[in-house]
Each structure stands twice: as structure tokens, then as C-alpha cells.
Copies of this chain bind each other. A is one copy, B any other.
Amino acid sequence: MGNFKTYIDKNKERFLNELFELLRIPSISANSENDPDIKIAANSIKKHLLKLGLNNCEICETDGHPIVYGEKIIDQNLPTILVYGHYDVQPVDPLDLWDQEPFQPYIKKTEIHPEGAIFARGACDDKGQMFMHIKALEVMMQDSGLPCNVKFMIEGEEEVGSDNLEIFVKNNKNKLSNDIILVSDTGMINKTTPSITTGLRGLSYMEVELTGANRDLHSGHYGGTVANPINILSKMIASLHDSNNKITIPGFYNKVSEASNDERKEISSIPFNLDEFKKSIGINAEHGETGYSTIERQSIRPALDVNGIWGGYTKEGSKTVLPNKANAKISMRLVPGQNWREISKLFTKHIKNITPKTVSVKVTEHHGGEPYVAPTNTVGFKAASNAYEDVFNLKPIPTKDGGSIPIIALFEKELESKSILMGFGLDSDAIHSPNEHFGVSNFLLGIETISKFYHHFTKLSKG
């Protein structure tokens, strides 16, 4: 195993330029107007894989956005790593809160990234992190070559639920067969504390629409006589949490695996400073379920949030309207034990139950995914741990992530292999937010760590 660092340092500028090119493509999967950009991004990934000499490179069409596939099988007796990532990105609203154009990447120093960070939508989630895997292949090939087989599967619908990847995986079990799945779409504890994500929350993303009268009404002539869907929706949303901030949907907690004392003790040992957390996002007081710490609330406890709400007149000035519709996008983060389709059903049933007869309701399921847990006693985990130790001189801490990568639980079920979640992003990187960024050193250390992983994994698998 050679000195990857020297090669990375020497080619750093080019690596960044290549990533910038990818970041300039506004491949927002949620907006159909960006469909052409999705295709451009998929093609760009394919070109990178071809250039690295991967075989069977193809753009696999789906009913939605395409999946890019490529592989390099050097020896059937060697282990196979399946790399998963996504080239699609989150929408950019609210656009006016970005310091610069979200698809015009640039580097700026920050307090946390004094060496500079890459600012752009997708810089961290997931173009930047996915691209580390492409560059790690190049690094290994320029050195002693790949130590094992590799397959790449990069999708374009992660931010909208990976529905078509699910079908693709089910239909291509042989093609995708592997010994370990490697994913960089999570974070590390802080700039100097590496971590491996061993748990992910599940997700159920729903939409509720209330309709009152057959048209918007004048709030003077009708105010006080007709149910206002916004007032009603507010009341319904308010009722979804009790005074302890527990979710009130009947049956919601029935199957939640309660954390053991040991597990809670382990969590409390993770370096976490509540004051720093509050400072980093500018809040005066934390908020959440009574009886749990902030780090527990964001990892081992479920949550329910309104992701968007709209109704009536929302522009400049005033309009005395009593609107006839109110809408909300509401999502729930789930923990082991909970099944997202079951939770979606419980949600739908409950919302219908609490809708008063003065309005009608429509509940729509957007998408979802199961929670995920990974053991720490596997070859994959040990190889990752060694790789981090090589690069960071520190053993990584196993952590549970509050986010969801819906497809990870499915991989386990369909491909019968575990995923190693080697994330290099930071909480402060503002993924899904304006001014998303990714530390330049995180990007480069990521490439190095991934390259090391291939060697450790091959070695430990043989042993």
C-alpha cells in the first residue's frame, strides 16, 4: 500500500476542478424542470467511470431518474466492494438566503474549515462525498492498482425516496452481488473526530391537504361562520405532540426499540457539547421529547416535523381572504422497530380521524424508508476503523445518525450485505440548507481514507 497522500496533494487542484464541474449541474431530483440536468449529471458520472477503465459502464434507465453503473472485476476470488452514492441534490429554496449562486461552486475559508470549504448545493450531499470514491479509484490505480473488485452504483433519486433504485436492486441481485457496500452520505462527529455511522433513522414523508369552502371567501363576510382550513390545520398539527413533545399518533411508539442502559451510557460518552450545538445553529434553547438528551433525540428517538406549510395569501401586503385550502408536508423520522409503511398508515388514519367534518382531507404518501442498524464486530467495520486510524491517527467512534438513507435497509434485505457508512461531512456543513459546503480537507482526507479501506478490507477478508 503506497503513499496515497502524496498523489492526492499533487492532484488536489484537478480533483477540485473536476468536482466543481459536477457541482455546476443543477441536478435537483424533486423539480421536473431539472430533468435535463439530471441526465447531464448521470452522463458526467459515466464519463468518469469510463475514464478510470471501469467495465460495463452504463446509464440504466428507470421510470424516474437513471442509475449509473460500472464495475472492475479483477479476480473473482477477491472480495467485491459495491459503492453506492447519488448525483441528485436537494432543491435550493430559499434562494435569497444563499450568499452566492448555489450551482456556481467556490471556495471560502470558514471558522470550522480554515483551509477552505467548497460552497455549492451538493458539495457535501452527496456529489462531494460520492466523488471521493471516484477519485479514490484513481489514487489506487496510480499506485499499486485496485486490491479487490469494485462495483459502482450511483443513483439520481436519493433526495426523493429512491423508489426506482429499489426496483433496480430487486431486479439485479446478481449484478450487484458484493461483500460490502461502501457509502459516504453521512457525517463525522467533528473536524478531528472520525466516526462510522452504525445507525440511521427511517423516514415517512406525508402530505396533508384540507379543503373548506368551494372557493376562497372574503374574510369579512364569512369570518366567524365558516371553518378556516389554515386554523383547522394548525390545530391538527398542534395536536400531534403532547406536552412532553411525544407524538400523539395512536400506536406510533408501539414497536420502538427502547435503548438499553448500556446503549444510553455509550451514547452519553460521545463527545457532544450542548452549548456548542446551540451556538452552531443560533438557538437559545433546545427542544424535544422529555426524558432524553439532545444526542438521543437526534439518533435513537423518532421525531415528527412539518417540512412545509402553505395556504391563503402569502405575498407582500395583506389580503382579507378566508382561504379554502391549507397544505402541509409532514415527515416522521423513525427508529429501529418501526416500519415506515405501517407508520404512514397510522399517520393517515389518525389525520383522517382528527379532521373535523367542517373540512375535507386528503393525505398523500410521498416516500419513506426503514431505519438501519449495523454491528461493529464485522470485517467491514474493522477495515474502516483501521483506515480511519491510518489517516486520522484516531479510532473512529461508532455513532447513530438522525438522517435517513432509505435504501440502506433495503440493501441489507435484498443483497444480504451490510453497508459501511464512512461519512466525512459535518453538521455545520448546512446540507439541505442555503450555503451548503464541504471542507476541502474533509474531501481530501475522505479520498485517502477510502483508498486505505480497500486495502484493509481486502487484507482482512483474506485473513
Contacts and interface: CB of A to CB of B under 8 A. Distances in A.
Interface string A415-458: 00000000000010011111100000000000000000000000
Nearest to A90: B319
B427 A215 contact: no
B313 A318 contact: no
Nearest to A211: B282
Contact of A287 (B161, B225, B404): B225
A219 B331 contact: yes
Interface stretch (A102-110, A129-137, A227-235, A259-267): A227-235
Interface string A207-242: 100001111111111111111101101110111110
Contacts of A205: 318, 320
Contacts of A305: 219, 223-224, 228, 230-231, 322
A316 B29 CA distance: 10
A309 B329 contact: no
A31 B316 contact: yes
B303 A312 contact: no
A91 interface: yes
A135 to B, nearest CB: 25
Contact of A234 (B216, B306, B310, B329): B306
Interface string A156-168: 0001110000000
Contacts of A312: 306-309, 329
A298 B32 contact: no
A374 to B, nearest CB: 17
A40 B413 CA distance: 67
A297 B331 contact: no
Bin the interface of chain A by size: 35 or more
A71 interface: no
A224 B306 contact: no
A427 B221 CA distance: 8
Give the copy number: 2
A221 B94 CA distance: 19
A463 interface: no
Nearest to A428: B215
Contacts of A179: none
A30 interface: yes
A289 interface: yes
A155 interface: no
A43 interface: no
Interface string A76-116: 00000000000000110110010000000000000000000
A333 B315 CA distance: 21
A432 to B, nearest CB: 4
By CB atoms of chain B within 10 A, which of A187, A201, A314, A404 has the most?
A314
A59 interface: no
A302 interface: yes
Contacts of A254: none
A31 B433 CA distance: 29
A337 interface: no
Given A221-B427, A298-B222, A312-B307, A213 B321 contact: no
B281 A402 contact: no
A463 to B, nearest CB: 36
Nearest to A432: B218
Interface in A187-205: 187, 201, 203, 205
Given A218-B403, A358-B285, A318 B366 contact: yes
Contacts of A360: 284
A301 B402 contact: no
Given A310-B309, A366-B317, A281 B226 contact: yes
A160 B317 contact: yes
A349 to B, nearest CB: 20
A91 B315 contact: yes
A396 interface: no
Give the 8 A-B residue pairs with the shortest CB-CB distance, closest first.
A220-B403, A224-B303, A214-B282, A30-B317, A308-B312, A238-B238, A234-B237, A223-B303
13 contacts: A30-B317, A30-B318, A31-B315, A160-B317, A205-B318, A215-B282, A231-B305, A234-B235, A234-B309, A307-B312, A310-B310, A310-B314, A313-B329
